[in-house]
Amino acid sequence: MDNQLYQKLVDEIKSYLQVRYDLVRLSALEKMSKILGLVLVTFVVILLIFVFLSLGAVALSILLAQWLPTWSAFLIVGALVLVMIALTIAFREKWFLDPIVKTLSAILFADKPEESSNQPEQKPDYHE
């Protein structure tokens, strides 16, 4: 009788550990898919910004070339691009690293499932 109870307990523990293992795997899969989606969206947005800025720089150069010599128009736009690069480097932590770290930490260290975060937050009752 004791042996059957012991075997049942061992089977329950194995089943529990298997469920916990599957839960950890699913949680890791969910987090990795969110991170991969974030990386993909970020890549597409950066690519679109690059195309927009490139075409804008050429258009601005052509516009300035109507009033200035062509070489000076392209030189002015090149200087503007250098200023944009310098600003990007100067503020890289505030503009890029901090939001990335905040987003990744929110994804990786989220304790609650998303379904429970949609429910209104209950306020503590201080009246006795």
Residue 80 lies in a domain: yes
Number of domains in the chain: 1
Establish if 101 belongs to a structural domain: yes
Cβ neighbours of residue 34 closer than 8 Å, sequence gap 6 or more: 107
Write out the residue range of the structural domain in which residue 76 sits.
Answer: 2-110
pLDDT in tens, 34-62: 888 888 888 899 899 999 999 999 999 99
Question: Is 38 part of a structural domain of the chain?
Answer: yes
Dihedral angle, C-alpha 19, 24, 28, 34, nearest 10 °:
70
Is 118's pLDDT higher than 60?
Answer: no
Per-residue pLDDT, averaged over 84-99, amounts to: 86
Domain assignment of residue 69, yes or no:
yes
- The pTM of the full predicted model, rounded to 2 decimals, is 0.60
Quick check: is 20 in a domain? yes
What's the confidence (pLDDT) of residue 117?
A: 47
Q: What is the pLDDT of residue 113?
A: 54
Decide: 105 and 31 in contact? Cβ < 8 Å.
no
Residue identified by tokens 């429910």 is: 119
pLDDT band at residue 30, thresholds of 50, 70 and 90? confident
